[in-house]
């Protein structure tokens, strides 16, 4: 069986174990708070391991998933990464006190 034909139950990988190593993301620039809430509900329902959002939505995502075994991730300099390193470092540090 080729890797592309493998299914989660093959070789000991269960659907639940697969979900725990996946991430769901809501990163569109036009994403709304409702989109972030819907994404968090999906993460909770499917037991997805990680939820990636824009930095502005980190506090909301953290609060929505506080009782869920999922980690919140954020992007810095997304989508182009054109910012200089000091700007990216400052953006990352700004997230830390917000529960990230």
Output the average pLDDT for the chain.
Answer: 88
- The pTM score is 0.80
Q: What's the pLDDT score for residue 23?
A: 95
| Higher per-residue confidence, 1 vs 37 | 37
For residue 1, is pLDDT > 50? no
Q: Report how far residue 6's alpha carbon sits from residue 14's, in angstroms, rounded to the nearest whole number.
A: 11
Residue spans per domain, the chain = 23-98
Give the torsion sign (CA, 35, 40, 44, 50): positive
């Amino acid at each position: 069986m080729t890797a592309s034909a493998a299914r989660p139950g093959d070789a000991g990988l269960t659907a639940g174990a697969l979900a725990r190593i996946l991430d769901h993301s809501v990163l569109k620039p036009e994403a709304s708070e409702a989109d972030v809430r819907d994404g968090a509900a999906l993460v909770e329902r499917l037991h997805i391991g990680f939820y990636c959002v824009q930095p502005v939505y980190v506090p909301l995502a953290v609060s929505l998933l506080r009782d869920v075994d999922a980690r919140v991730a954020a992007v810095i300099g997304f989508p182009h990464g054109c910012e200089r390193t000091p700007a990216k470092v400052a953006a990352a540090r700004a997230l830390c006190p917000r529960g990230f």
